[in-house]
């Protein structure tokens, strides 16, 4: 299987590569369109600020390529947020893969949300063998609102969407690569989709 | 619900853990990677590695260690000690560290916090603050808590938040090493004052101390070293007790 992690300069992707290595898969880090198109599975990571990450995507024209991909794509954290319509962070237009907007938590709660939280209302093959109320590790200040493409929700200030699915596109707000055995299970599920 | 985090801290010197660690039968208790894996399996939520002898010469050793931890450990970890520039942080994140912790370098040049949060995002910038209560005033200390400076803990905490810190690791020098409980009054005040997570450090001795620091101190996470390293408080038992006391934990 050819597994690719989109490397567009946004964040720590080494841990994702290592997580797959622990599962016995070598992932290629690349921003080369041909490499990405010829992959069986694609990881779209992201850490940092939305507008600058989007600018980097545009520079390499990956903003055009990613929405056209036909193979399973998994967005992680900011990657998931960039796959949405719009993010309040830096008033950024996203890739529009998920029909939902991304907003900031209010100051009624500590921002960023940092740590382990539960995921519920699990509705996808991505969560095969993962129980309701499983803990995942999250670090984020912005969240996706409730929407029909939701495949998992979490509670912080209110219920929000912590995973999304639309055709071949998947997105998770949490970091499966840092979420212990449950996170590794999810990555394995993605590889087996 | 977001859970409270239990964070073992490992002191590192030349790529090895210092202080004896003997909580389980390990083939090499001095190997930070073996220990980190063990802690992850035993229910730790996060780990902190503190390079206590950070020098230019042993930087490469530290990078190698971070790389190996990232390869083998499936929970988040923070690296601290001797970090003073954007380049230092870039190197550590490239090796797979999730967060970095800065202390003296932030006091000496507070703009560093802005630079780091702008370039890498607040989520990976932990500002560690060592402070000591002297005549009713909490003064920030440098160099491992040995040198007092004329900055007040609460003022500094507000400033680091404003500059983009994603989290504060507060160690009370009055409590550190005493095993008599965390600095819950100061912690609670800090938690009310800033809107970023606070890691309580210094004073862990019993399970009750953890209950107190989450309830009275309003801490988001609690860090400890020796009580975990010497097996005085097994993490799973600690978490079960916390849950019995209605504190949300990952079990």
Residue A10 confidence class, pLDDT cut points 50, 70, 90: low
Show the DSSP H helices in B127-200 as ranges: 153-163, 184-193
Nearest-10 crossing angle of helices B153-163, B111-120: 40
A146: left (phi over 0), alpha (psi -120 to 50) or beta: beta
The token pair at A153 is 């929700």
CATH architecture of B5-244: Alpha-Beta Barrel (3.20)
- Which pLDDT tens digit goes with each residue over B3-52? 999 999 999 988 888 765 554 555 566 889 989 999 999 999 999 999 98
Least confident range of A36-50, A175-189, B199-213: A36-50
The structural domain count of chain A equals 1
- Which pLDDT tens digit goes with each residue over A70-119? 999 999 999 999 999 999 999 999 999 999 999 999 999 999 999 999 99
Taking a C-beta distance cutoff of 8 angstroms, is the pair B169, B129 a contact?
A: yes
- pLDDT recorded at residue B72: 94
Alpha-carbon distance of B109 to B121, in angstroms, equals 18
- pLDDT recorded at residue B120: 87
Residue A11 confidence class, pLDDT cut points 50, 70, 90: low
Chain center to CA of B90: 20
Taking a C-beta distance cutoff of 8 angstroms, is the pair B156, B140 a contact?
A: yes
Q: Greatest CA span in chain A, whole angstroms?
A: 46
Instruction: Report CA-CA distances (Å) from B114 to A105, B121, B129.
Output: 21, 10, 17
- Which pLDDT tens digit goes with each residue over A115-159? 999 999 999 999 999 999 999 999 999 999 999 999 999 999 999
- Report cis status (omega within 30 of 0) of the bond before B5: no
Show the DSSP H helices in B8-152 as ranges: 32-41, 59-72, 86-94, 104-108, 111-120
Which domain, by its residues, includes A70?
3-191
Are B1 and A155 inside 8 Å of each other by CB? yes
Alpha-carbon distance of B147 to B127, in angstroms, equals 17
Chain center to CA of B239: 18
Instruction: Report CA-CA distances (Å) from B121 to A11, A64, A106, B149, B166.
Output: 9, 25, 18, 28, 8
Residue partners of B55: CB distance under 8 A and separation at least 6: B82
- Which pLDDT tens digit goes with each residue over B66-125? 999 999 999 999 999 999 999 999 999 989 999 999 999 999 999 999 999 988 888 899
- pLDDT recorded at residue A163: 98
Q: What is the mean pLDDT of chain B?
A: 92
- B167 vs A contacts (CB less than 8 Å): 114
Q: Which residues pair with A20 in a beta bridge?
A: none
- pLDDT recorded at residue B28: 61
- pLDDT recorded at residue B19: 62
Residue A116 to chain B, least CA–CA distance (Å): 6
In this prediction, residues B212-226 reach a mean pLDDT of: 97
Predicted confidence (pLDDT) at residue B57 exceeds the cutoff of 60: yes
Helix (H) or strand (E) holding B243: helix B235-244
With pLDDT > 90 as the criterion, what percentage of chain B qualifies?
Answer: 75
Using alpha carbons, select from B14, B3, B123, B136 the residue that is nearest to residue B64.
B14
- pLDDT recorded at residue B26: 53
DSSP per residue, chain A: --EEEE-SS-S--HHHHHHHHHTT--EEEE--HHHHHT-SEEEE---S-HHHHHHHHHHTTHHHHGGG--S-EEEETHHHHHTEEEETTTTEE---SEEEEEEEPPTTS-SSEEEEEEEBS--SGGGTT--TTEEEEEEESEEEPP-TTEEEEEEESEEEEEEEEETTEEEESS-GGGSHHHHHHHHHHHHT-
Query: Which of A15, A89, A175 to mutate to probe the B interface, most B CBs <10 Å?
Result: A15
With pLDDT > 70 as the criterion, what percentage of chain B qualifies?
Answer: 96
Are B197 and A12 inside 8 Å of each other by CB? no
In this prediction, residues B126-134 reach a mean pLDDT of: 95
Residue B57 to chain A, least CA–CA distance (Å): 24
Query: Which of A21, A110, A160, A187 to mutate to probe the B interface, most B CBs <10 Å?
Result: A110
- pLDDT recorded at residue A31: 92
Helix (H) or strand (E) holding B239: helix B235-244
- pLDDT recorded at residue B25: 54
Helix (H) or strand (E) holding B235: helix B235-244
Alpha-carbon distance of B97 to B81, in angstroms, equals 13
Supply the CATH number for residue A64's domain. Answer: 3.40.50.880
- Which pLDDT tens digit goes with each residue over B223-237? 999 899 888 999 999
- pLDDT recorded at residue B119: 86
A170 touches chain B (CB under 8 A): no
- Which pLDDT tens digit goes with each residue over A152-176? 999 999 999 999 999 999 999 999 9
Rounded to a whole number of angstroms, the distance between the first and last alpha carbons of chain B is 13
Main-chain dihedrals φ then ψ at residue A67, nearest 5 degrees:
-65, -20
Q: Report angle CA A106, B248, B180 to the nearest 5 degrees.
A: 105
- pLDDT recorded at residue B21: 53
Helix (H) or strand (E) holding B207: helix B207-215
- pLDDT recorded at residue B13: 86
* Domain coordinates in residue numbering, chain B: 5-244
Q: Which residues of A does the annotation mark as catalytic?
A: 77, 175, 177
Instruction: State the residue for tokens 């390869």.
Output: B71
Compare CB distances from A114 to B96, B97, B167 and report the shortest one's residue: B167
């Amino acid at each position: 299987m050819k597994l690719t992690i989109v490397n567009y300069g946004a964040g720590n992707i080494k841990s994702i590569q290592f997580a797959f290595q622990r599962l016995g898969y070598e992932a290629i880090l690349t921003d080369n369109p041909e490499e990405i198109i010829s992959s069986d599975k694609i990881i779209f990571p992201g850490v940092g600020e939305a507008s600058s990450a989007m600018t980097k995507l545009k520079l390499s024209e990956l903003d055009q390529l990613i929405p056209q991909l036909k193979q399973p794509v998994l967005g992680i954290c900011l990657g998931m947020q960039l796959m949405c319509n719009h993010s309040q962070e830096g008033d950024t237009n996203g890739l529009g893969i998920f029909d939902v907007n991304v907003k900031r938590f209010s100051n009624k709660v500590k921002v960023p949300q940092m740590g382990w939280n539960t995921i519920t209302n699990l509705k996808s093959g991505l969560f095969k063998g993962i129980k309701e109320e499983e803990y995942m590790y999250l670090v984020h200040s912005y969240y996706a609102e409730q929407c029909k493409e939701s495949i998992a929700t979490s509670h912080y200030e209110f219920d929000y969407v912590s995973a999304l699915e639309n055709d071949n596109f998947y997105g998770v707000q949490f970091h499966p690569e840092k979420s212990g055995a449950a996170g590794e299970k999810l990555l394995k599920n993605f590889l087996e989709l | 619900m977001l859970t409270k985090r239990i964070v073992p801290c490992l002191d590192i010197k030349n790529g090895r853990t210092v202080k004896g660690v003997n909580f389980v039968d390990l083939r090499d208790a001095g190997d930070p990677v073996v220990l980190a894996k063990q802690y992850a399996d035993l229910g730790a939520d996060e780990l902190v590695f503190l390079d206590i002898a950070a020098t230019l010469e042993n930087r490469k050793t530290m990078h190698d260690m971070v790389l190996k931890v990232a390869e083998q450990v499936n929970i988040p970890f923070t690296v601290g000690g001797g970090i003073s520039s954007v380049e230092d942080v870039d190197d550590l994140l490239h090796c797979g560290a999730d967060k970095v912790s800065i202390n003296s370098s932030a006091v000496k040049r507070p703009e560093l916090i802005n630079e780091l949060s702008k370039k890498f995002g607040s989520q990976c910038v932990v500002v560690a603050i060592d402070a000591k209560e002297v005549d009713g005033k909490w003064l920030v200390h440098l160099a491992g808590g040995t040198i007092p400076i004329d900055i007040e803990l609460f003022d500094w905490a507000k400033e680091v938040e404003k500059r983009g810190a994603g989290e504060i690791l507060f160690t009370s020098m009055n409590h550190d090493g005493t095993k008599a409980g965390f600095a819950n009054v100061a912690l609670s005040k800090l938690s009310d004052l800033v809107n970023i997570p606070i890691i309580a450090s210094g004073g862990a001795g019993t399970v009750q101390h953890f209950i107190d620091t989450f309830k009275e101190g309003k801490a988001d996470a609690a860090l400890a070293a020796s009580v975990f390293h010497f097996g005085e408080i097994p993490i799973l038992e600690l978490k079960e007790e916390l849950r019995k006391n209605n504190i949300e934990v990952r079990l």
